[in-house]
Structure 1
Amino acid sequence: MGSSVKRVLVFAGSAREGSLNKQLAKLAAKRIEVLGGKATFIDLKDYPCPLFDEDIEAQGMPENVLKLREILADHQAVMIASPEYNGFITPLLKNTLDWLSRPYQDTPGLGLFAGKWAALVAASPGGLGGIRALPLGQQLLANLGLIVLPQPLSLAKAGSAFNDSGALHDETTGQKLDALCQRLVDSLAATR
């Protein structure tokens, strides 16, 4: 039997050191904790995976994929901060999710995602705040079998959105992030 504590895995679809989406993901993890949830932030830079290839998979699941599978299996929800590359989610995010969706041992394909909750946020230094990638990210997560919360948060002009302590300058945007985090926490609490 697993722990009865419901946990949210939080990460960004960026490996870059100064990533605004990593900053937003870390803030979301903190807010989830403050709002009564249990969050785990991971940095995908710590788990480099090869580009998905069935020939590589046939030689054995890469070690970092196995580590990520173990982490995901221990969580009941995901909160993802997705950068936008040319109006789409990042190759890193897509590749990570592709690897995690593969069948392995007694877990069928998509088995790690089934019935888990998901929420998306996006940050961009531009004026659109990653808004073009969010619906595509939501569609991908739904295709994987996750229950995706509506109304993702888009953070425009993110380069100047954070204060020195990592919180958001704009109170209204902070309230929107809290509302999304709260919906995720509440959805998890209502899940048996």
Structure 2
Amino acid sequence: MTSTPTKVLVFAGSAREGSLNKQLAHLAAKRIEALGGHATFIDLKDYPCPLFDEDIEAQGMPENVQKLRALLAEHQAVFIASPEYNGFITPLLKNTLDWLSRPYGDTPGLGLFAGKWAALVAASPGGLGGIRAMPLAQQLLANLSLTVLPQPLSLPQAGSAFNDSGALHDEATGQKLDALCQRLVDSLAKTHG
């Protein structure tokens, strides 16, 4: 009997075309694959969802929310690159997670998140690297019943952090990203292996 490969859903809390967090999330997906994991990178721009509203929910779960729910159900972990807007997480990230946490069909509220792992990174063109929003993102993920890995990666000066191939210029930062990805892959292997 072969076990189903554990998979990580990777995305950024930004829909912007040139998003540094989207670039970091894409790199993380590649690194997870290189370290023996299975990653699925998605762009939330491809899944536009209305602002969460129970009146909308009462009319039926929006199609893109259903697509995101199906994706999350197939994965055992999430890897999120969280931008920082005025010291907080983005409305896009909060709204996406709010929709995914709703009860639907036979799945209770938070049911899609139960037993799953989460890893978190943040990139910013400034010197703080998104660290002000990081504790809020960690708290939100923990509130959703995710097991959040410690030691998230913060990437300051991200506008000049990537080379032409999408890798990080700084070797030490690249090693920190690899270490976080490896901890996630190892945690999944121990839990689901």
Question: TM-score range, shorter-chain basis?
Answer: over 0.9
Shift of 1:4: 1.1
C-alpha distance in structure 2 between counterparts of 1:3 and 1:17, whole Å:
37
SS in structure 2 at match of 1:14: coil
Q: The residue matched to 1:83 in structure 2 has which SS?
A: coil
**Corresponding residue of 1:104:** 104
SS in 2 for 1:109: coil
Which letter does structure 2 place at the counterpart of 1:146?
L
Structure 2: distance between partners of 1:80 and 1:95:
14
Secondary structure of the corresponding residue to residue 191 of structure 2: coil
Offset of residue 137 of structure 1: 0.2
SS in 2 for 1:112: coil
For 2:11 and 2:42, locate their aligned partners in 1 and report how far apart those are by CA, in whole Å: 5
CA distance in 2, matches of 1:105, 1:76: 20
1:119 shift after superposition = 0.3
Name the counterpart of 2:79: 79
Letter of the structure 1 residue corresponding to residue 51 of structure 2? L
- Report the equivalent of 1:131: 131
2-structure distance, mates of 1:8, 1:144: 17
Tell me which amino acid in the other structure corresponds to 2:17.
E
Q: Structure 1: any 5+ residue segments left out of the alignment? A: none
Q: Hey, what does 1:121 align to over in structure 2?
A: 121
Query: What corresponds to 1:19 in structure 2?
Result: 19
Q: CA deviation at 1:103?
A: 0.1
1:3, CA displacement in angstroms?
A: 6.3
- TM-score computed with the length of structure 2 as normaliser: 0.98
Tell me what 1:59 maps to: 59
Q: Per the alignment, in what secondary structure is the counterpart of residue 8 of structure 2? A: strand
Change (3 A) 1:3 1:43: farther
Q: Given residue 69 of structure 1, which amino acid in structure 2 is its aligned partner?
A: R
Count of residues in Structure 1 that have an aligned counterpart in Structure 2: 191
3-state DSSP of counterpart to 1:52? coil
Identity of aligned residues (%): 88
Q: Which runs of 5+ in 2 are unaligned?
A: none
Runs of 4+ in 1 over 3 A off after TM superposition: none
Amino acid at match of 2:73: A
Question: Where does residue 4 of structure 2 map in the other structure?
Answer: 4
Summarize deviations over 1:160-192 as a string: whole Å, max 9, x none. 000000000000000000000000000000013
For 1:168 and 1:105, the matched residues in 2 are separated by 42
What secondary structure is seen at the aligned counterpart in 1 of 2:121? Answer: strand
1:152 lines up with 2:146 in the alignment: no
Corresponding letter in the other structure for 1:136:
L
Aligned-partner Cα distance in 2 for 1:57–1:102: 9
Matched, 1:94 2:94: yes
Q: Determine the C-alpha separation between the residues in 2 that align with 1:75 and 1:152.
A: 20
Corresponding letter in the other structure for 2:53: D
